[in-house]
Each structure stands twice: as C-alpha cells, then as structure tokens.
Amino acid sequence: MSKEYLSMFIDETREHLQAWSDGMINMEKTGDLTAVSTIFRAAHTIKGMAMTMGYRHMGEVTHKAENLLDDLRNNKLMITTPVVDALLHALDMLEMLLDDIEGTEEESDRNIQPIIEELTAVREGRTFAATGTAAVQVAKAEVAATISSQDTPVIEGISDQTLIRKIAEKAMDEDYRIYEIQIGFTPDCVMPLARFAQWLQRIDQDSLLFTDPDSTTLDAGDYKGDITAIIAAKEDYEVVGETLADISEVIVKSIQEWTKNEGNTYVKSSNLLPQEGHITDDEHVRKVIEQALKQSFRVYEVGVLLAETCQMKSARIFMVFEAIGGQNHLLYTHPHVQQIEQEQMDRDVLFVMWSKEDLQTVQKAIQSISEVDLVELREWSKEGEDTQRGPNLIQKTERQKATTTEKRKMSTVRVDTEKLDDLMNLVSELAIDKTRLERIRTEVPHSGLSETVDHMSRLSSQLQELIMSIRMVPVETVFNRFPRMVRDTSQQLGKEVDFTIVGQDTELDRTVVEEIGDPIMHMLRNSLDHGIEGVSERRAVGKPENGHIELRAYAAGNHVFIEVEDDGHGINRDKVFKKALEKGLVSSSEHLTDHQVYQLLFASGFSTADAISDLSGRGVGLDVVKSKIESLSGKVDVFSEEGKGTKFVVRLPMTLAIMDGLMVKVGEHPYLIPIGSITETGVLRGTQTVNGSEVVIWRERVVPIIRARSIFNESTSNEEGFVVFVNRGDKVVGIVVDELLGQFEVVLKTLDQRLKKIPYFAGATILGDGEVSLIIDANAFID
C-alpha cells in the first residue's frame, strides 16, 4: 500500500476516532442518541477504510462495535455503563492498532478477542423491541430452522436459493413487500462498498434479506461490481428507491418486486424504474442523423456532465454549443434546448451534432470548457443501409477530470513541519538582510533605493507575521483528549465531575502545543484527585453533587494563558506547610504568605494526599509540570481559596520562536537576556560581601550578585557596570554586565546538542548585522 494512502488513512482514522471519543462522552453525559449516529458513522467509515487497506483486526473490531451501535440507534439496546465501557475499550484497541500501523505500516498481532467478546456480550444483553422488522428477524430464524432440501427454486437468478425464497414468503405473509434491487457504482467511485454500507444504514439492516455477492465477499472489502440486494419493506418501491436516490456514486440499475402468483409460486415484476428509452431510438432523430451522414458530415453523440459546483449551468452548456460551431450544428438535445435555456435540467446533457471536424477536434473543443466534463462521445456511421452508434470513446481516466478539479477546491494542504521551519529560517535571514539594507540606505542617499528598502521592509514584516501565523495551531488539538481522560479518571475515583472546556480555538505555536499536553493532564488529575471532593462530602457542605472542572485558554498580549479551575475543597494551607516542614522544604520560623505556601506544591517530591493514589499522588506531577512549563519559557502559578476551589494558571509565550530581550555586553560579546525574567536594571554600586558571596541591597532586600565576566571566563574583571535583576518567583539575583545595549525582538535558534548542555544559555539568535548572539537562561543564574 502506498505511503500516501497510508498517511491519509492514519490521519482520517484518527479524526474519526476522535469523533468517536467525543461522541461517547457526549452520549454518556446526555443520553443523546444523535451522538450514537455520529459514532456509528465514525465506526462505519473506519471499518470501510480499514477493510480497504487490509487491516483485518481494525475492521473486525469496528464491525462488532458497529453492530452494537446499530442496536443502540434502533432503541434495541439501552445505553448503559457496560455498553459505554465496551465501546470505549473498542476505541482504545483501535487507537493501539492505529498506533502500531503508524509505527510499522503493518497491522500488529494484538489479541482482539477479548474486545470482540465484550462487544458481543453486551450486545446479547439486548431486549428486542417487538415491532416492525423484528418480525422479519423471527421469520429468518424460523425459516432457517424449517428449511428442507426438497424445496425447488421458482424464481430464477440469485433467488434460486430456497432459503431466501422461504424467508421472502414468510415476510410476504407478514404483509411485507419484497424488492430485488440491483445497484451499480459510477466508475470513479473509490469505495463502492462504503457507499453500499451507507445505504444499509438508511434502511433497517434487518430488512435486508439477501445480497449477491454474499456478505463475506462484501466484508472482504475489495468488491467493485454490481450488487443485488433483496429487502423486505412495507413501503412501495418509490420510497425504497428514494433511500438510494441521494447517495452519490451509486446507480440504481433496477428495482423489481416479487409477487405471489396463484399456487404459491413467485414472479418478479419487470423493472419498476422508469426506463428512459435511448434518444436515438426515436425515429425522427434517426432520420435526421441519416440525412446528415448522407451529406458526408460527421455525426457525433455527446454526453456532458456539469460539475456539482457549477453555478450557471445553461451558460456552460451554451458555451459547449458555441465550441462545437454553434447551435445550428445540433441535431438533437436532451433535455430540449428551451429547457436548457431555462435551466430546467440536471447536471447531464446529451446531444447529437453534425460537424466537418474530426473527432479529436470536437473532443478538444468541448473539453476546453471549464466545469464541464465530457463523459460520452460516440461517432455515428453508416454501414450499408444501417446507421449505427460507435462505442464511447471517452476513457475513464478522462472522465475523472471533473472530480479532480472539484477536489482541488479544497482550501487546505498538508505541509511537512520541517519545511515550515526552513521557511521560518529563510524569512528571518531576509529580516537580517533587510536591517542591513536599512543601514546602507542611511549611508547612500538615493531616493529610489530608499523607497525600495521601505517597501521591502514592509513585505518582510508581513512575511514574518504570516509565517508565524502558519505555525500557530489551536490548543484544541491537545485539549480534545481530556474529556475522555477526565471521564475515566473520575469514574475510577468514584467522583462525579462535569468538565467544560473554554477557548479551545486559542492558538499557540505548534512546538508549544505539542509540549503542553502532559502538564495540563497532570493539573487536571491533580484537580480530580485532590481538588474535587467525594459526593457525600460535597453534599455535606452544601455543594452540588457534581464537581466542576473548567479548562480554559485565552490569549493576552504576547502570551497565552491556560487555566485549570475546580470547585473542590481548595488547598489547606496548614496541611501544605506541615508537609513542607516534614520534607525540610521550609523551616518553622519562616513566615510565608498563603500564596507562597501554595507554591510549595510545585516543589519536587511534594505530595499532600493522605493516601497515595494511583493517580497524581505519587509526589511527581506538579514539580514536573513546573519544570516543563519553564522549559517552554512559561510560568505556572496556583491560586486557591479553602472550601471554594483551586485554580492553576499557566502562562506561555505565544511562540517560542520570537522573543523580546535586553541586549547586554559582557567583555567583547553581546548577550540577550529574555525580558520575561528581568525585574529591573540598575547601575552597579555598593557591593558587600556576605559569607563569601557578593551582594547588593536592592529595594531593602539583600540580593546576591553574579559577575557575568567571571562566569563567562573573561580574563579581566570590571569594577564598573550594570546590574540586571532577574527573578524566578520570589528569588532575585543580580547579573553584572558591562553595558546595556537596548531591547530587541529576536528569533530564537536552538543550539547544537553539545552546547545545549551548558546551563547558562537558552539558545542563540542572529542580530540585524548578521552577527550571532547567545541568549542567556536566567534560571541558571538563580539556582
């Protein structure tokens, strides 16, 4: 299977699995059956795709799940927790199978049997609704039991089989009408079986008595020919036909009804579909054609199909007529020219024309009209006394033209993220050249140059903004997995939790979005585990039984905020403080504000849960959250009110790639300190030595200072200089530098693996003059 299809399969299946997952949560919450249909559709599509790709395990699991969903949909089965669980387990299995496929391109040999059994088991717990097609079901069963080999076939064809005939008989006794429907597919139909299955979804599956080829062949997934189906229905053929009418790429070839004859034999009616006789059967048309041929003109029969999106159908058709030499070349059209003029037509038009041109010229002329697809082109010829039509000369591949042009209208393309990074690099390089040009302009007075540089500057900024926006993705891509996780976790904990998400459209740089999943999950678990109380406890304090957790995201300035807020019992200050004392994180004499105490939760190895649970109480978690967020140049904070709830607030830069910084000079070299970590700058004066380390008094605090020169191995020390105060939480350190060069917005570049190990640098950047500067990681100075 080609790589291209594989990645398409993986992407699409993921989307459907996500829809499935969302639907499940929705369904369980609301008991809403529309969600079932959504899941059913998702399962169904996955089944079709998996079968087509030859992934049997996936196909089998989805098939079973689909059966179960179908029962739910038809109210034969109630939505109960075991049912939901079974479907979720199936979903998990499918995700694992998909992961395997993504990794190895092959379907792995996972044991799907338990899942299959679970799905079957919960389904068998169903209660039949004793109405409608259930009777057919019973009939199927009864007939199967009583069938005897002496029965002889009465109706020819596929219905020779006694079993089907017996079932049909039984159903007719129950006042059902039996239809035999022959279905074909358009040549460009990619997944005919999916189309067929789409139809099966519309009719009641139990009313389907028989298919040819049989279901085993159909389930195998690569059948492409016509399908004959026999169904039992109470409606007349038009209603049955309608179920098929708007399924695209499906052609209803015939509908026949079986009827009882005297003496209990059955006959098939003739095709009930209105048959359009071929236009050229018309005596008058034939005569006109003969006339034209006699005058040694060439006569062509042309069928065209307008694109679905075509807005001005008649105009397009008249363009076709113009292209073949004008309306007087027409011998016959269907529909009539007047009807075409009034747009009274479907997408297809058939016409017979005369011409002096050869076939290729005519074909080219018609194909040059956009939104028109030439589907049929035959030449008429005279053989002796007889005029006859030639074969259709339009190949299938040419027919697909209109469909592919339609697809091209899709407004998105997939781009390798590496290419985006490359583009980003090129654009930042352009920005550097732009700065250089701007400098040259001041040296070379030339009005033309000046204007060009101005224009280029604008373009380059726009380009940069555009690239940044392309790299942005909505947080939804990570948020959408949390409803499921919250559902599972709260069930495990025996808590009732309503979970809401706000602002999932908020956008963040792709690289940041990829990293924030885990920290958010930790915070959510923390709220579920430690925040939300059990039902009885909540009832006792007069809160609603269901706890509430909200995950929200919003943008403010150059930052995106992500908050996890619960209405649980909040943080117990004394408990945290006591625990911190035990762990030696604080001393009893320390006087801390509530807020300071809460921050202790982020200290490594801290856990206040009385019983260590399976979830977040392992003492890892919040400290991991903190370090992860900080590695993304973000900050995390916690606010709490005892009895009311807790709120985690994460602040992230909208993009990692561009940052604001203060350029400083140490010795010969420029360094950039990110603005985010700077509290204040000042002139160095009045240092003192306490316990062997240098400090200054800053805003009535004793603040240690670190000389960048000594850290960066500059041989000489400088008595004069500036102090850049950097902070993390309440810790402040002064970094002594030689010069302050000003504020710059720069593009962050990561360092080589070998240089990443140096703690003092977060990366590097290229300055306007093309020189490279290191970006300082202030955290390293604070620790």
Partner 1 sequence: MKIVTFRINSELYALPVDTVKSIERMQPIRPVPMAPENIVGIMNLRGVVMTVIDLRSMLNMLKLDYTPDTRLLVIKDVAYIVDEALDVLEIDLHHVEMQDEDHPLVQGIIQQGDKLIVMIKSDNL
275 secondary structure, DSSP code: P
Q: How many CB atoms lie within 10 A of CB 429?
A: 13
Site string for partner 1, 319-338 (x = CB under 8 A): --------------------
> Which residues partner with 381 through β-bridges?
388
Q: Does 764 bind partner 1 (CB under 8 A)?
A: yes
Binding to partner 1 by CB under 8 A, coded x per residue (else -) over 427-466, reads -xx--x----------------------------------
Q: Which is nearer to partner 1, 343 or 745 (CB)?
A: 745
- Residue 780 as a binder of partner 1 (CB under 8 A): the answer is no
Q: What 3 state SS string does 77-97 have?
A: CCCCHHHHHHHHHHHHHHHHH
Q: Which of 13, 256, 655, 773 binds partner 1 (CB under 8 A)?
A: 773
CA distance linking residue 205 with residue 196, whole number of Å: 12
User: Which residue lies nearer to partner 1 by CB, 121 or 772?
Assistant: 772
Closest CA to 247 of 307, 179, 201, 313: 201
CA 450 to CA 444: how far, in whole Å?
9
What DSSP state is assigned to residue 384?
T
Binding to partner 1 by residue 744, rule CB under 8 A? no
Considering only 425, 450, 480, 546, the residue that binds partner 1 (CB under 8 A) is 425
Is residue 752 within the footprint of partner 1 (CB under 8 A)?
A: yes
| Contacts of 635 by beta carbon, 8 Å cutoff, 6+ apart | 629, 650, 651, 676
Q: What is the Cα–Cα distance from 177 to 232, expressed in whole angstroms?
A: 6
Question: Per CB under 8 A, does 751 bind partner 1?
Answer: yes
Residue 666 Cβ vs partner 1, minimum distance, rounded to whole Å: 9
User: Rounded to an integer, what distance in angstroms lies between the CA atom of residue 487 and that of residue 84?
Assistant: 12
d(CA 749, CA 772) in angstroms, rounded, equals 10
Structure tokens at 273: 């579909």
As measured in angstroms, the least distance from the Cβ of 701 to partner 1 is 28
Interface pick for partner 1 out of 31, 125, 605, 770 (rule CB under 8 A): 770
Helix pair angle (113-124, 81-104), 10° resolution: 160
Min dist CB 634 to partner 1, Å, is: 23
Nearest-angstrom CA–CA distance, 21 and 12: 14
Least distance from C-beta 444 to partner 1, angstroms?
A: 24
Burial 78-89 (b: 16+ CB within 10 A, else e): ebeeebbbbbbb
Q: Which of residues 663-682 bind partner 1 (CB under 8 A)?
A: 669
Minimum distance between the CB of residue 668 and partner 1, rounded to whole angstroms?
9
Q: Which one of residues 774, 778, 779, 781 is an interface residue with partner 1 (CB under 8 A)?
A: 774
Which of 694, 761, 768, 782 is close enough to bind partner 1 by CB under 8 A?
761
Q: Binding of partner 1 at residue 772 (CB under 8 A)?
A: yes
Q: How buried is residue 195: exposed, middle or buried, by Cβ count under 10 Å (0-12/13-18/19+)?
A: buried
436 or 644, CB closer to partner 1?
Answer: 436
Shortest separation between residue 470's beta carbon and partner 1, angstroms: 18
Stretch of 110-118, 138-146, 276-284, 750-758 lying at the interface with partner 1 (CB under 8 A)? 750-758
Q: Does 365 contact partner 1 by CB under 8 A?
A: no
Binding piece for partner 1, criterion CB under 8 A, among 462-470, 630-638, 727-735, 762-770: 762-770
Q: Residue 262 corresponds to which tokens in the numbers above?
A: 């005297």
* 745: contact with partner 1 by CB under 8 A: no
Closest separation in Å from C-beta 738 to partner 1: 14
Q: CB-wise, 689 or 713, nearer to partner 1?
A: 713
**Distance separating alpha carbons of residues 640 and 638, to the nearest angstrom:** 7
Q: Which stretch binds partner 1 (CB under 8 A): 262-270, 505-513, 516-524, 748-756?
A: 748-756
If the CB atoms of residues 516 and 733 are measured against partner 1, the closer one turns out to be 733
The least CB distance from residue 715 to partner 1, in Å, is 12
Alpha-carbon span 498 to 428, nearest angstrom: 45
**Shortest CB 514 distance to partner 1, Å:** 22
CB of 718 to partner 1, least distance (A): 16
Q: How far is the CB of 713 from partner 1 (least distance, A)?
A: 5
Measured from the CB of residue 695, what is the shortest distance to partner 1 in angstroms?
23
Closest CB to partner 1 among residues 233, 764: 764
- Pick the closest to residue 22 from 473, 524, 497, 480 (CA basis): 480
Which own/partner pairs from 680-685 qualify as long-range (CB within 8 Å, at least 24 positions apart)?
A: 680/725, 681/722, 681/723, 681/724, 681/725, 681/740, 682/722, 682/723, 682/725, 683/722, 683/723, 684/720, 684/721, 684/722, 684/723, 684/736
Considering the rule CB under 8 A, would residue 760 count as an interface residue with partner 1? yes
Phi, psi of 40, rounded to the nearest 5 degrees: -55, -45
Give one DSSP letter per residue of 582-611, joined into a string. HTTSS-TT----HHHHHHGGGSTT----SS
What DSSP state is assigned to residue 700?
Answer: T
What is the rounded distance in angstroms from the CA atom of residue 193 to the CA atom of residue 227?
9
Select the span of 422-430, 503-511, 513-521, 624-632 touching partner 1 (CB under 8 A): 422-430
Strands 559-566 and 547-556: antiparallel
Two structure tokens written together for 651:
């602040």
Minimum CB–partner distance for residue 530 and partner 1 (Å):
41
Residue span binding partner 1 (CB under 8 A) among the ranges 127-135, 251-259, 361-369, 764-772: 764-772
Specify burial of residue 62 (Cβ count, 10 A radius: 0-12, 13-18, 19+): buried
Question: Which two tokens mark 118?
Answer: 């679970």
Smaller CB separation from partner 1, 267 or 426: 426
Span of 177-185, 324-332, 716-724, 753-761 interacting with partner 1 by CB under 8 A: 753-761
Q: Quick one: which of 242, 244, 272 has its CA closest to 257?
A: 272
Stretch that binds partner 1, among 425-433, 611-619, 676-684, 692-700 (CB under 8 A): 425-433
Q: Considering beta carbons, is residue 112 or 656 the nearer one to partner 1?
A: 656
Site map 706..725 versus partner 1, x via CB under 8 A: -----xxx------------
- Which value, to the nearest 10 degrees, does the dihedral of the CA atoms of residues 372, 373, 375, 380 take? 50
Query: Interface with partner 1 by CB under 8 A: which range of 168-176, 490-498, 674-682, 769-777?
Result: 769-777
What number of chain residues touch partner 1 (CB under 8 A)? 26
Interface with partner 1 (CB under 8 A), residue from 534, 749, 768, 782: 749
Interface with partner 1 includes 426 (CB under 8 A)?
A: yes
Q: What SS3 string covers 103-147?
A: HHCCCCCCCCHHHHHHHHHHHHCCCCCCCCCHHHHHHHHHHHHHC
Choice between 555 and 711, CB closer to partner 1: 711
State the minimum distance, in angstroms, from the CB of residue 710 to partner 1: 10
Listed ranges 146-154, 247-255, 458-466, 758-766: which one lies at the site for partner 1 (CB under 8 A): 758-766
CB of 669 to partner 1, least distance (A): 6
- Nearest approach, Cβ of residue 430 and partner 1 (Å): 8
Counting contacts by CB under 8 A, is residue 766 touching partner 1? yes
Among 263, 611, 754, 783, binds partner 1 (CB under 8 A): 754
CA angle at residue 581 from 580 to 587, to 5 degrees?
A: 115
The site for partner 1 (CB under 8 A) is made up of 425-426, 428-429, 432, 669, 711-713, 749-752, 754-755, 758, 760-761, 764-766, 770-774
